[in-house]
Structure 1
Amino acid sequence: MPRASKSDAEKAASGTLQPCRRSRSIVISDATLTETPPVGLTKDAREAWRLAIACAPKGMLTALDVTVLERWARNYALYRKIAKQLDHEDVVALDEEGNISDKLNPRFNALIKVQQVLAACEKELGFTPVSRARVKADPKDEEQNEYDGF
Protein backbone atom coordinates (compact mmCIF):
# COMPACT_ATOMS: atom_id res chain seq x y z
CA MET A 1 0.00 0.00 0.00
CA PRO A 2 1.57 3.34 -1.00
CA ARG A 3 2.32 5.97 1.58
CA ALA A 4 0.39 9.21 1.58
CA SER A 5 2.49 12.02 0.17
CA LYS A 6 3.44 14.94 2.38
CA SER A 7 2.10 18.39 1.68
CA ASP A 8 4.43 21.21 0.63
CA ALA A 9 4.10 22.72 4.11
CA GLU A 10 5.23 19.46 5.75
CA LYS A 11 8.17 19.19 3.34
CA ALA A 12 9.17 22.80 4.03
CA ALA A 13 8.98 22.22 7.80
CA SER A 14 11.20 19.16 7.60
CA GLY A 15 13.64 20.87 5.20
CA THR A 16 13.08 18.50 2.28
CA LEU A 17 11.09 20.81 0.00
CA GLN A 18 12.71 21.01 -3.41
CA PRO A 19 11.28 22.43 -6.66
CA CYS A 20 11.18 18.97 -8.21
CA ARG A 21 9.17 17.63 -5.24
CA ARG A 22 6.54 20.33 -5.06
CA SER A 23 2.93 19.32 -5.51
CA ARG A 24 1.91 19.75 -9.11
CA SER A 25 -1.33 21.61 -9.27
CA ILE A 26 -3.12 23.57 -11.95
CA VAL A 27 -3.58 27.31 -11.49
CA ILE A 28 -6.57 28.83 -13.25
CA SER A 29 -6.35 32.13 -15.11
CA ASP A 30 -8.64 35.18 -14.85
CA ALA A 31 -10.88 34.74 -17.93
CA THR A 32 -14.06 33.06 -16.68
CA LEU A 33 -17.02 31.64 -18.54
CA THR A 34 -20.42 33.28 -18.60
CA GLU A 35 -23.74 31.61 -17.90
CA THR A 36 -24.76 32.18 -21.52
CA PRO A 37 -24.44 28.78 -23.25
CA PRO A 38 -23.19 28.45 -26.82
CA VAL A 39 -25.69 28.53 -29.67
CA GLY A 40 -26.94 25.14 -30.80
CA LEU A 41 -27.34 23.40 -27.45
CA THR A 42 -30.61 21.68 -26.66
CA LYS A 43 -32.79 22.89 -23.78
CA ASP A 44 -31.45 20.19 -21.43
CA ALA A 45 -27.86 20.91 -22.44
CA ARG A 46 -28.36 24.65 -21.83
CA GLU A 47 -29.71 23.88 -18.36
CA ALA A 48 -26.71 21.64 -17.69
CA TRP A 49 -24.37 24.43 -18.84
CA ARG A 50 -26.00 26.94 -16.47
CA LEU A 51 -25.90 24.44 -13.61
CA ALA A 52 -22.19 23.80 -14.15
CA ILE A 53 -21.36 27.50 -14.25
CA ALA A 54 -23.47 28.23 -11.16
CA CYS A 55 -22.06 25.36 -9.08
CA ALA A 56 -18.39 25.60 -10.10
CA PRO A 57 -16.14 27.33 -7.55
CA LYS A 58 -15.22 30.90 -8.49
CA GLY A 59 -12.32 30.98 -10.91
CA MET A 60 -12.48 27.24 -11.63
CA LEU A 61 -13.76 27.41 -15.22
CA THR A 62 -12.04 29.61 -17.76
CA ALA A 63 -12.70 30.59 -21.35
CA LEU A 64 -10.38 27.78 -22.44
CA ASP A 65 -12.78 25.23 -20.96
CA VAL A 66 -15.65 26.14 -23.28
CA THR A 67 -15.28 23.11 -25.58
CA VAL A 68 -14.96 20.60 -22.75
CA LEU A 69 -17.90 22.15 -20.90
CA GLU A 70 -19.99 22.10 -24.09
CA ARG A 71 -19.12 18.41 -24.60
CA TRP A 72 -20.07 17.72 -20.98
CA ALA A 73 -23.38 19.59 -21.31
CA ARG A 74 -24.33 17.78 -24.53
CA ASN A 75 -23.45 14.37 -23.07
CA TYR A 76 -25.24 15.15 -19.81
CA ALA A 77 -28.43 15.95 -21.74
CA LEU A 78 -27.99 12.79 -23.82
CA TYR A 79 -27.40 10.74 -20.67
CA ARG A 80 -30.64 12.02 -19.13
CA LYS A 81 -32.56 11.29 -22.35
CA ILE A 82 -31.26 7.72 -22.70
CA ALA A 83 -31.73 7.00 -18.98
CA LYS A 84 -35.34 8.18 -19.18
CA GLN A 85 -36.00 5.90 -22.17
CA LEU A 86 -34.27 2.99 -20.47
CA ASP A 87 -36.46 3.39 -17.37
CA HIS A 88 -39.39 2.10 -19.45
CA GLU A 89 -37.49 -0.78 -21.05
CA ASP A 90 -35.59 -3.86 -19.93
CA VAL A 91 -31.82 -3.78 -19.62
CA VAL A 92 -31.59 -7.04 -21.55
CA ALA A 93 -32.88 -7.26 -25.09
CA LEU A 94 -35.81 -9.42 -26.09
CA ASP A 95 -35.75 -11.74 -29.08
CA GLU A 96 -38.42 -11.93 -31.81
CA GLU A 97 -40.64 -14.15 -29.65
CA GLY A 98 -40.49 -11.80 -26.65
CA ASN A 99 -38.17 -14.01 -24.62
CA ILE A 100 -35.16 -12.64 -22.76
CA SER A 101 -32.00 -13.02 -24.84
CA ASP A 102 -28.32 -12.99 -23.86
CA LYS A 103 -27.77 -9.54 -25.38
CA LEU A 104 -27.98 -6.20 -23.60
CA ASN A 105 -30.36 -3.50 -24.71
CA PRO A 106 -28.53 -1.23 -27.21
CA ARG A 107 -29.66 1.82 -25.22
CA PHE A 108 -27.93 0.39 -22.15
CA ASN A 109 -24.68 0.09 -24.12
CA ALA A 110 -25.10 3.68 -25.33
CA LEU A 111 -25.72 4.83 -21.76
CA ILE A 112 -22.47 3.22 -20.60
CA LYS A 113 -20.51 4.94 -23.38
CA VAL A 114 -22.04 8.33 -22.56
CA GLN A 115 -21.18 7.79 -18.89
CA GLN A 116 -17.54 7.20 -19.87
CA VAL A 117 -17.41 10.46 -21.82
CA LEU A 118 -19.08 12.31 -18.93
CA ALA A 119 -16.56 10.91 -16.45
CA ALA A 120 -13.64 12.02 -18.63
CA CYS A 121 -15.09 15.53 -19.00
CA GLU A 122 -15.80 15.76 -15.27
CA LYS A 123 -12.20 14.92 -14.46
CA GLU A 124 -10.92 17.55 -16.87
CA LEU A 125 -13.27 20.23 -15.56
CA GLY A 126 -12.68 19.52 -11.88
CA PHE A 127 -16.22 18.29 -11.22
CA THR A 128 -15.16 15.27 -9.16
CA PRO A 129 -13.91 15.51 -5.56
CA VAL A 130 -10.45 14.20 -6.48
CA SER A 131 -10.00 16.48 -9.47
CA ARG A 132 -11.28 19.48 -7.45
CA ALA A 133 -8.58 18.82 -4.86
CA ARG A 134 -5.91 18.99 -7.57
CA VAL A 135 -7.11 22.27 -9.05
CA LYS A 136 -6.38 25.56 -7.31
CA ALA A 137 -8.55 28.58 -7.79
CA ASP A 138 -7.10 31.99 -8.56
CA PRO A 139 -4.26 32.67 -6.09
CA LYS A 140 -5.49 36.26 -5.60
CA ASP A 141 -8.44 34.89 -3.63
CA GLU A 142 -6.25 33.05 -1.14
CA GLU A 143 -5.05 34.80 1.96
CA GLN A 144 -1.36 35.64 2.04
CA ASN A 145 0.65 34.05 4.81
CA GLU A 146 3.43 36.23 6.20
CA TYR A 147 5.70 33.18 6.45
CA ASP A 148 5.36 32.07 2.80
CA GLY A 149 8.84 33.36 1.92
CA PHE A 150 10.63 31.26 4.50
Structure 2
Amino acid sequence: MKKTAPSWMNDQAKKEWRRVLKLIIEEEKELEEKDFKTLETYCVNYAKWLKCEEILDSEGLTFETPNGYIQQRPEVAIGNKAQERLLATAKELGLTPASRSRMNRHKIYEKTEEFDEELEEMISDGT
Protein backbone atom coordinates (compact mmCIF):
# COMPACT_ATOMS: atom_id res chain seq x y z
CA MET A 1 0.00 0.00 0.00
CA LYS A 2 1.30 3.42 -0.99
CA LYS A 3 1.77 5.28 2.29
CA THR A 4 3.24 8.62 1.30
CA ALA A 5 1.27 11.54 -0.03
CA PRO A 6 2.11 12.80 -3.51
CA SER A 7 4.92 15.35 -3.40
CA TRP A 8 2.89 17.97 -5.32
CA MET A 9 0.28 18.26 -2.53
CA ASN A 10 0.44 21.22 -0.17
CA ASP A 11 1.26 20.67 3.50
CA GLN A 12 -2.37 20.70 4.67
CA ALA A 13 -3.38 18.09 2.07
CA LYS A 14 -0.41 15.90 3.05
CA LYS A 15 -1.35 16.17 6.71
CA GLU A 16 -4.91 15.08 5.92
CA TRP A 17 -3.55 12.23 3.75
CA ARG A 18 -1.57 10.89 6.72
CA ARG A 19 -4.54 11.26 9.08
CA VAL A 20 -7.01 9.48 6.80
CA LEU A 21 -4.59 6.76 5.72
CA LYS A 22 -3.91 6.01 9.39
CA LEU A 23 -7.67 5.61 10.00
CA ILE A 24 -8.04 3.35 6.97
CA ILE A 25 -5.15 1.16 8.12
CA GLU A 26 -6.45 1.01 11.71
CA GLU A 27 -9.88 -0.08 10.46
CA GLU A 28 -8.19 -2.70 8.26
CA LYS A 29 -9.86 -1.42 5.12
CA GLU A 30 -8.32 -2.33 1.82
CA LEU A 31 -7.23 0.37 -0.57
CA GLU A 32 -6.28 -0.63 -4.06
CA GLU A 33 -3.98 1.40 -6.28
CA LYS A 34 -6.99 2.84 -8.13
CA ASP A 35 -8.44 4.12 -4.82
CA PHE A 36 -5.54 6.47 -4.19
CA LYS A 37 -6.81 8.98 -6.76
CA THR A 38 -10.00 9.25 -4.68
CA LEU A 39 -7.90 9.81 -1.57
CA GLU A 40 -5.90 12.47 -3.44
CA THR A 41 -9.11 14.21 -4.48
CA TYR A 42 -10.40 14.10 -0.91
CA CYS A 43 -7.19 15.58 0.53
CA VAL A 44 -6.82 18.31 -2.08
CA ASN A 45 -10.42 19.42 -1.62
CA TYR A 46 -10.05 19.30 2.15
CA ALA A 47 -7.04 21.64 1.94
CA LYS A 48 -8.82 23.92 -0.54
CA TRP A 49 -11.94 24.12 1.64
CA LEU A 50 -9.83 24.84 4.72
CA LYS A 51 -7.93 27.63 2.94
CA CYS A 52 -11.19 29.23 1.80
CA GLU A 53 -12.56 29.09 5.35
CA GLU A 54 -9.41 30.75 6.69
CA ILE A 55 -9.72 33.56 4.15
CA LEU A 56 -13.42 34.02 4.85
CA ASP A 57 -12.78 34.11 8.60
CA SER A 58 -10.24 36.88 8.20
CA GLU A 59 -11.71 38.83 5.26
CA GLY A 60 -15.45 38.25 5.63
CA LEU A 61 -17.99 36.85 3.19
CA THR A 62 -18.23 39.95 1.02
CA PHE A 63 -16.07 42.73 -0.38
CA GLU A 64 -16.66 46.13 -1.88
CA THR A 65 -15.88 46.56 -5.58
CA PRO A 66 -14.09 49.67 -6.90
CA ASN A 67 -17.55 50.89 -8.00
CA GLY A 68 -18.90 50.60 -4.46
CA TYR A 69 -20.95 47.41 -4.90
CA ILE A 70 -20.92 44.72 -2.25
CA GLN A 71 -20.17 41.27 -3.68
CA GLN A 72 -19.69 37.80 -2.30
CA ARG A 73 -16.04 36.80 -2.07
CA PRO A 74 -14.98 34.15 -4.64
CA GLU A 75 -13.82 31.94 -1.76
CA VAL A 76 -17.45 31.34 -0.79
CA ALA A 77 -18.20 29.55 -4.07
CA ILE A 78 -14.78 27.89 -4.25
CA GLY A 79 -15.12 26.63 -0.66
CA ASN A 80 -18.66 25.37 -1.24
CA LYS A 81 -17.60 23.40 -4.34
CA ALA A 82 -14.55 21.99 -2.54
CA GLN A 83 -16.77 20.94 0.35
CA GLU A 84 -19.18 19.16 -2.02
CA ARG A 85 -16.30 17.25 -3.61
CA LEU A 86 -14.82 16.57 -0.18
CA LEU A 87 -18.04 15.02 1.08
CA ALA A 88 -18.54 13.00 -2.11
CA THR A 89 -15.07 11.48 -1.90
CA ALA A 90 -15.39 10.97 1.87
CA LYS A 91 -18.43 8.78 1.15
CA GLU A 92 -16.47 6.82 -1.45
CA LEU A 93 -13.72 6.18 1.09
CA GLY A 94 -16.17 5.19 3.84
CA LEU A 95 -15.34 8.22 5.99
CA THR A 96 -18.91 9.25 6.81
CA PRO A 97 -21.17 7.51 9.33
CA ALA A 98 -23.76 6.67 6.66
CA SER A 99 -21.21 5.22 4.24
CA ARG A 100 -19.63 3.11 6.99
CA SER A 101 -23.07 1.85 7.95
CA ARG A 102 -23.80 0.81 4.37
CA MET A 103 -20.40 -0.87 4.07
CA ASN A 104 -20.94 -2.78 7.29
CA ARG A 105 -24.47 -3.77 6.27
CA HIS A 106 -23.11 -5.20 3.01
CA LYS A 107 -20.46 -7.19 4.92
CA ILE A 108 -23.09 -8.65 7.25
CA TYR A 109 -25.32 -9.64 4.34
CA GLU A 110 -22.39 -11.13 2.43
CA LYS A 111 -21.60 -13.35 5.40
CA THR A 112 -25.21 -14.51 5.80
CA GLU A 113 -25.98 -14.58 2.05
CA GLU A 114 -29.34 -12.94 2.74
CA PHE A 115 -28.63 -9.62 1.05
CA ASP A 116 -31.37 -8.55 -1.36
CA GLU A 117 -29.94 -5.90 -3.71
CA GLU A 118 -33.35 -4.85 -5.07
CA LEU A 119 -34.82 -4.44 -1.59
CA GLU A 120 -31.73 -2.55 -0.45
CA GLU A 121 -32.07 -0.10 -3.36
CA MET A 122 -35.75 0.47 -2.50
CA ILE A 123 -35.06 1.33 1.14
CA SER A 124 -31.72 3.10 0.81
CA ASP A 125 -31.57 6.86 0.53
CA GLY A 126 -29.52 6.65 -2.67
CA THR A 127 -26.42 8.35 -1.26
TM over 0.5: yes
Moved over 4 A (4+): none
**Shift, 1:100, TM fit:** 6.5
Please, which of 63, 76, 80 is the counterpart of residue 33 of structure 2?
Answer: 63
Contact 1:93–1:105 under 8 Å retained in 2: yes
Identity %: 28
Structure number with greater Rg is: 1
Q: How does 1:90-105 map to 2 (within 5 A)?
A: 90-96=60-66, 101=70, 103-105=71-73
Give distance in 2, aligned partners of 1:45 and 1:119: 15
SS at 1:135's partner residue? helix
Q: Which residue of 1 aligns with 2:90?
A: 122
* Structure of greater relative contact order (alpha carbons < 8 Å, 6+ residues apart): 1
Runs (5+) with no aligned partner, structure 2? 114-127
What is the rounded CA distance, in whole Å, between the counterparts of 1:95 and 1:41 in structure 2?
33
Pick closer, same or farther for the CA change 1:108–1:89 going to 2, 3 Å: same
- 3-state SS, counterpart of residue 88 of structure 1: helix
How far did residue 96 of structure 1 move?
2.7
CA distance in 2, matches of 1:91, 1:40: 29
- Point out the structure with the larger helix share: 2
Output the aligned Cα RMSD. Answer: 2.4
Cα distance in 2, alignment partners of residues 34 and 52 from structure 1:
13
Alignment TM-score, normalising by the size of structure 1: 0.61
Gaps of 5+ in 1: 1-32
